[in-house]
């Protein structure tokens, strides 16, 4: 899945998870932009062109779900994957309703993220994962 021209925005407040996601995407050849807050993520999303957005649900200054809704006002195209510790079914439903295409819970399975990204970018799926 090497894609030197692909850009991902990772919005994650936990430094370890942010660095892990960065390393994972860089290993796949992606360019990675990171943000630690919803406000920074919104600014980055509005000012850049991304092929994928990876959002945490719980951010220090707001909800990733609210962030997804704000992004969808000006960008209805870019796939959004939630990468979060919140495993409640209602959280997944709210994330998908806010415009996300996938919802992956932490701790994550490396292959699950890779396959989800590949499927989203190939247009195979619009939403997935019932767990």
State the CATH number of the domain containing residue 104. Answer: 3.40.50.2300
Residue 66 structural domain: 8-122
Strands 62-63, 52-55: pairing is unpaired
129 within some domain: no
23 within some domain: yes
Rounded to 5 degrees, φ, ψ at 39 are -60, -45
Q: Is the pTM of this model over 0.85?
A: yes
Q: For the chain, what is the domain count? A: 1
| CA-to-CA dists, residue 62 to 36, 55, 69, 129, angstroms | 11, 12, 12, 25
Nearby residues of 48 by Cβ (< 8 Å), 6 or more positions away: 7, 9, 33
22 within some domain: yes
pLDDT at 4: 58
Q: What is the mean pLDDT of residues 98-123?
A: 86
- Of the two residues 84 and 36, the one the predictor is more confident about is 36
116 within some domain: yes
pLDDT over 80 (residue 67): yes
103 within some domain: yes
87 within some domain: yes
Rounded to 5 degrees, φ, ψ at 3 are -145, 80
63 within some domain: yes
Q: What is the mean pLDDT of residues 74-99?
A: 91
Residue 86 sits at the vertex; the CA angle it makes with 83 and 125, to the nearest 5 degrees, is 45
Percent of the chain with pLDDT over 70: 90
Percent of the chain with pLDDT over 90: 68
131 within some domain: no
């Amino acid at each position: 899945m090497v894609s030197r021209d692909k850009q991902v925005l990772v919005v994650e407040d936990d430094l370890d998870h942010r660095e892990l996601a960065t390393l994972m995407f860089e290993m796949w050849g992606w360019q990675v932009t990171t943000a630690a807050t919803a406000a920074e993520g919104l600014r980055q999303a509005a000012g850049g062109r991304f092929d994928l957005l990876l959002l945490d649900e719980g951010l220090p200054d707001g909800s990733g779900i609210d962030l997804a809704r704000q992004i969808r006002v000006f960008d209805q195209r870019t796939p959004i994957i939630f990468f979060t510790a919140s495993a409640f079914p209602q959280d997944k439903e709210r994330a998908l309703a806010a415009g996300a295409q996938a919802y992956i819970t932490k701790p994550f399975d490396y292959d699950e993220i890779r396959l989800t990204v590949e499927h989203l970018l190939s247009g195979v799926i619009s939403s997935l994962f019932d767990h």
